[in-house]
Structure 1
Amino acid sequence: MAFEFSDRHIVEYHTQGYVVLRDLLPATLLTDLRRETDRGREIARRLGGGNAQRLQPVQEHLDPRPFAELWGLPALHHALTEILRGIEFSVEGDAVLYEPGESPYCMCWHRDFRDLSPGMDLAAWQASFHDLRLFNQTNVALYDDACLWVVPGSHLRADTPDEIRRFPERPVPAPDFTGLTPEQAEYTARDYAHSMPGAVQAPLNAGDFMVYRNTLWHLGSYVPYIKRATVHGSIVTEAYRQYVLTQWLPYAKGELPRVWHNVNAGTPAYREGLWQRRAGQWAARLRRLAGA
């Protein structure tokens, strides 16, 4: 079924923080992108190892023509113009995301910039995270993709007490896969994803286009036995370009002290979360000693 835009897409994006444009890609374009990204999988693993999951920038490794056709789709630009309420933008997709080749992998729960970049000015992030000109990302699934987990609506608010208690510390800890079999790692990643209050999967079918606010709580969880090739990009405005240049680039270039800041530090939920985490660690140690 061909994609048809409606007001529902606008409402979903602004209330849930993400929306899926179903069947946006023409079948012929899907064929071309699959052929090109299948070449990229081996390039990514040759460059980054067997578990490499990203090829970036695609322009240096793959034929850019099908990607240019993707970003130039009239239906896509119409939908994004309506969703973004007429803001001037360009769509820049320069990465392909793949399944890991060797073992399951899971990112930590995070909100982009705030939870991944030590040293950044969190006051500036908090002052701007409602700005529709900023923090819009895209995923285009070339195969069915259920890797992304989100907390719907979290882009509209600060962390809840339950979220703070679950992840009081910065950096947010990712799952520990040390010594686990692939199957144990897969279960561990799934339990970790479910542990965030309100978390849901955001599955895509092949040919779907997702746009989402990266200020949502979100993560990616991946297994090697499900093929993946998802084109990942950003919606770029002049305001976003300036934000990256002034806020993120100094961090990336090492010009800022790499100190983790925590907007939730000192709150009652933060103290409760630390206590719960330490109590869990002590209990795990006692179980290991009892089994020794």
Structure 2
Amino acid sequence: MRPILLILAMIISTFMEAQTRILDTIYANDTKNVALFFPEPIRQGITGSENFVFTYNREKEQYFGLLQAKQGKESNLLVINRNGSIFSYIVRYKAQLSKLNYFIPMTSSIGNEKPKVKDSIQTETFEKKIDNSTYYYQKFCSYLLDRRQYLGRYTRRNSGVIMRLENIVFDKEELYFVIQIRNNSTLDYDLNFLNLSVETRQKGKKKSLQRLYIEPIFKHHLPSKIVVNETVRFIYVMPKFSLSNDRRIILELNEKDGERNIEMKVSHKYINNPN
């Protein structure tokens, strides 16, 4: 009994943190085996009363254990997986069982026996870095939208919807694509997506084109709708890259539930020589 008491004492703090959580109840009896399948192999399993028995492979860790019960007062079952995840349940005797198999998800874990302090610190540092980057992107994008600098030739239109690539700016390790869309049509424009891809022109007798989508790091003021006679300006922040002579950028504007789509091709020269 002493090892059991030591184990229970070791994890009592975890139970204190989860005391407000309502524990699920598992029913068992002495004529059938109730199987519990866990997301990780079982390292330890303990019941709080002798009229409940939880058996599992102690020599070779496996994902399941078997629960049986004799008639008596309810108790509890504590299971610790190989990765330290802790699961706790109320166990009760029931003569007639309606459920013989329980598949336990990781989300049912009430905690972990080893606090991941290092991981928490790393996560906090990472989140702080993300917050600082987002703040900088927002400030620099606002600065660029206050400026008026146009590349000139990059304007495309379709049925009164006009897309213009105003500027490409390099800063630190990112490229900022400043884009303007004007709706001169008689219908509102619902934006489905605006994708930026790199298109490669394959050489040879059978010429072909391949496109590789680039995920923006940050989107500033991207609209979901452009109403009639409205002009919107927004920015895509992309990771820094350069292009060879056989590649170019494709900006693809797509309308939701419509056909006023626009495709703009941007030369590698503007990507390799941004403002």
Q: Same-fold call, TM > 0.5?
A: no
Question: Going by fraction, where is strand more abundant, 1 or 2?
Answer: 2
Question: Going by fraction, where is helix more abundant, 1 or 2?
Answer: 1
Q: Which has the higher contact order (CA 8 A, sep 6+)?
A: 1
Normalising to structure 1: TM-score of the pair?
Answer: 0.19
Bigger radius of gyration: 2
